[in-house]
Structure 1
Amino acid sequence: MERRSIGAGALTVGAVGLGCMPMSGAYAPSRKRREDSLDTLHTALDLGANLLDTADLYGPYTNELLLGRVLRERRSDAFVSAKAGLRADGVHVVADGRPGYLRRACDASLRRLRTDVIDLYQLHRVDPDVPVEESWGAMAELVGAGKVRALGFCALGAGAGPGAGPRGDRAYAATVRHLERAQQVFPVSAVQAELSVWSPQAAWRLLPWCAARGVGFLAAMPLGSGFLTGTLVPGEGFEPEDVRARHPRFTAYAMAANQVLVAGLRRVARRHGAEVTAAQVALAWVLAQGPQVVPVPGTGQAHRAAENARAAEVRLTAEDLVELSELPVPMGA
């Protein structure tokens, strides 16, 4: 698989990564099986999709423990992207960027992951009660201590995933200003934010900032939380614990209206051969947004991980990109 740089080029990863959050029940939790998740991890690594994206919040903790079972055997094959800065507080999730907390969180993640070093350690959200320089400085100390190789920001906004908590957008959305302030303390190697065919505007400021500075961009939810695969049926519904059950783009009405996006992806896919899928075209579009962009599609199924990895072989034409850029704005805020 093609390799792409994280940061100034010192670290490289496969062009397509693997988001591990779905293995801990964010989507269709009743269908999760440990053995399926382990097979998925091994499949991704076998195909070169070696960036494994996790966080201590996922589970909480069980996601890192799951990865630890694989890393114990295949640490040299993997690039581990972990996160800290969000913690469960009873029924709520709150931002916690205190230096002492981040140091303890890193040590705990290292134990669960069964590794001596985390390749990319991300600040999961910005804590409004702690200057970002203090949080970032503590994380920089972890690099100096040899516990972490590089640092990044997870810049998803409030409500974008299961990390949404009670304190509003100010607790979650890292901005370009946060990145610039952190950059004065220690280099930012990567930024993770939503980017997909149905959310092309989500990273409209972050992506150019990364491109201008050689900062890696990890594209979260590049398949629109599964919608852009074309495998979801409008009106079928979701389990109550599934994060999509509360998302306005996943109402039966919105899903039916948004099938036009899937139809557009399938149209492009047909031009590339019978084996190319809508999901692969959606990932190829993300890859085409810049050489520093690495889509991180999440799945807990080995056959989906294999399908996603092969998207790195799809090369969209200028005509394809124009056609995809003209797809309608999806319904659902």
Structure 2
Amino acid sequence: MERRSIGAGALAVGAVGLGCMPMSWAYAPSRRRGQESLAAVHTALDLGSNLLDTADLYGPFTNELLLGRVLAERRSEAFVSAKVGLRAGDQHVVADGRPGYLRRACDATLRRLRTDVIDLYQLHRVDPDVPVEETWGAMAELVGAGKVRALGFCALGAGAGPGAGRRGDRAYGTTVRHLERAQQVFPVSAVQAELSVWSPEAAWQLLPWCAARGVGFLAAMPLGSGFLTGTLTPGEGFESQDVRARHPRFTAHAMASNQALVAGLRRVAGRHGPGVTAAQVALAWVLAQGPQVVPVPGADRARWAAENAAAAEVRLTAGDLSEIAALPAAVGAWD
């Protein structure tokens, strides 16, 4: 698989990563199968999708424990991307950027992952009650201590992703200001935010910022929380604990309207051979947004991990990209 750089070329990863979140958090609880998820991780590593993205929030903690079972056998083959700064409160997820908390959380993550070092440690959210310089400085100390190799920001500016607020973090202007302030303390190696055919906003401001500074960009939810795979049908019900049950793009009306996006991706896929899927075209579009962009699609089954990895071989033409750009904007947005 093609390799892409994270952080001014200092770190290299497979062009398509693996998002581990669906294995233990956010989506349908009834689908969670530990052995099948382990098989997905092994398949991803076999095919070169070595960036494994996790977080202590996912579960909480169970995602890291599951991934640790694979890393105990194959640590040298993996690039571990973990997150800190969000924790489950009594009623909802809360940001916590206090230095003492970050240090304790890092040590706990290392134990659960069964590793001595985290390749990329991302701030999951900025804590509004702690100056970002203080939080980022504490994370930089973890690099100095040899527990972390590089630092990144996650989900800044994301629209309606799991754990995101209905407003707040969606302002990309605020994101860039946080990034600039953090950059004065310690280099930002990567930024992770939602980027897909139906959520292209990050390409307008965050991607240029990253490209100008040699910062990697991890594209979260590049398959639109599963919608762009074409496997979900309008009116499909979601379990109450599945975040899509409350997502305005997954109402019956929105899903019916947004089928036009899937149809467009399928048309493009048809020109690239009988085995190419709408999901692979959606990932190829993300890859085409810049050489520093690494899509991190979630997968909890080996067959999905294999299909996603194969997207690295799909090369979209200028005509393909123009056709995708002309597709209608997605229906359904937070108020």
Q: Does TM, normalized by the shorter one, top 0.5?
A: yes
Aligned to 2:97: 97
Deviations 1:79-108 (A, max 9, x none): 000000011111221100011111111000
- Aligned residue identity for 1:73: E
- Could you say if the C-alpha distance between residues 191 and 24 of structure 1 is closer, same or farther in structure 2, counting changes exceeding 3 Å? same
CA–CA separation in structure 2 for the residues paired with 1:106 and 1:172: 28
SS of aligned partner of 1:224: coil
State whether residues 156 and 169 of structure 2, in contact with CA within 8 Å, keep that contact through their aligned partners in structure 1. Answer: no
Aligned to 1:110: 110
CA–CA separation in structure 2 for the residues paired with 1:222 and 1:158: 12
Q: Unaligned stretches of 5+ in structure 2?
A: none
State whether residues 95 and 172 of structure 1, in contact with CA within 8 Å, keep that contact through their aligned partners in structure 2. Answer: no
CA–CA separation in structure 2 for the residues paired with 1:231 and 1:291: 29
- Aligned residue identity for 1:247: H
CA–CA separation in structure 2 for the residues paired with 1:68 and 1:270: 39
CA–CA separation in structure 2 for the residues paired with 1:163 and 1:77: 30
CA–CA separation in structure 1 for the residues paired with 2:170 and 2:231: 34
Aligned to 1:253: 253
- Could you say if the C-alpha distance between residues 156 and 234 of structure 1 is closer, same or farther in structure 2, counting changes exceeding 3 Å? farther
Deviations 1:259-293 (A, max 9, x none): 00000000000000000000000000000000000
Aligned to 2:88: 88
Q: How far off is 1:52 after superposition? A: 0.3
Q: How far off is 1:157 after superposition? A: 4.0
State whether residues 234 and 255 of structure 1, in contact with CA within 8 Å, keep that contact through their aligned partners in structure 2. Answer: yes
Aligned to 2:195: 195
- Could you say if the C-alpha distance between residues 170 and 225 of structure 1 is closer, same or farther in structure 2, counting changes exceeding 3 Å? closer
Q: How far off is 1:156 after superposition? A: 3.8
TM-score (norm: length of structure 2): 0.96
- Aligned residue identity for 1:182: A
- Could you say if the C-alpha distance between residues 109 and 159 of structure 1 is closer, same or farther in structure 2, counting changes exceeding 3 Å? same
Deviations 1:103-144 (A, max 9, x none): 111000000000000000000000011000000000000000
Aligned to 1:265: 265
Farther off after superposition, 292-301 or 200-209 = 200-209
CA–CA separation in structure 1 for the residues paired with 2:280 and 2:152: 26
Aligned to 1:150: 150
Aligned to 1:3: 3
1:41 aligns with 2:41: yes
| Paired-residue identity, % | 84
State whether residues 52 and 80 of structure 1, in contact with CA within 8 Å, keep that contact through their aligned partners in structure 2. Answer: yes
CA–CA separation in structure 2 for the residues paired with 1:271 and 1:172: 37
SS of aligned partner of 1:205: helix
- Could you say if the C-alpha distance between residues 136 and 172 of structure 1 is closer, same or farther in structure 2, counting changes exceeding 3 Å? farther
Aligned to 1:285: 285
Aligned to 1:132: 132
State whether residues 222 and 283 of structure 1, in contact with CA within 8 Å, keep that contact through their aligned partners in structure 2. Answer: yes
State whether residues 265 and 282 of structure 2, in contact with CA within 8 Å, keep that contact through their aligned partners in structure 1. Answer: yes
SS of aligned partner of 2:204: coil
CA–CA separation in structure 1 for the residues paired with 2:217 and 2:158: 19
Aligned to 2:141: 141
Q: How far off is 1:170 after superposition? A: 5.7
- Could you say if the C-alpha distance between residues 172 and 103 of structure 1 is closer, same or farther in structure 2, counting changes exceeding 3 Å? farther
CA–CA separation in structure 1 for the residues paired with 2:36 and 2:169: 37
- Could you say if the C-alpha distance between residues 19 and 224 of structure 1 is closer, same or farther in structure 2, counting changes exceeding 3 Å? same
Aligned to 1:294: 294
Aligned to 1:209: 209
Aligned to 2:182: 182
Aligned to 1:162: 162
Aligned to 2:239: 239
Deviations 1:161-182 (A, max 9, x none): 332369x616997600100000
State whether residues 120 and 151 of structure 1, in contact with CA within 8 Å, keep that contact through their aligned partners in structure 2. Answer: yes
State whether residues 270 and 276 of structure 1, in contact with CA within 8 Å, keep that contact through their aligned partners in structure 2. Answer: yes
Aligned to 2:28: 28
State whether residues 119 and 148 of structure 1, in contact with CA within 8 Å, keep that contact through their aligned partners in structure 2. Answer: yes
CA–CA separation in structure 1 for the residues paired with 2:287 and 2:161: 22
State whether residues 57 and 88 of structure 2, in contact with CA within 8 Å, keep that contact through their aligned partners in structure 1. Answer: yes
CA–CA separation in structure 1 for the residues paired with 2:259 and 2:99: 46
- Could you say if the C-alpha distance between residues 171 and 310 of structure 1 is closer, same or farther in structure 2, counting changes exceeding 3 Å? closer
Moved over 4 A (4+): 170-174
Aligned to 2:328: 328
State whether residues 157 and 175 of structure 2, in contact with CA within 8 Å, keep that contact through their aligned partners in structure 1. Answer: no
Farther off after superposition, 156-165 or 262-271 = 156-165
- Could you say if the C-alpha distance between residues 224 and 171 of structure 1 is closer, same or farther in structure 2, counting changes exceeding 3 Å? closer
Farther off after superposition, 111-120 or 173-182 = 173-182
SS of aligned partner of 1:152: strand
Aligned to 1:220: 220
State whether residues 28 and 242 of structure 2, in contact with CA within 8 Å, keep that contact through their aligned partners in structure 1. Answer: yes
CA–CA separation in structure 2 for the residues paired with 1:127 and 1:21: 22
Q: How far off is 1:202 after superposition? A: 3.6
CA–CA separation in structure 2 for the residues paired with 1:106 and 1:232: 37
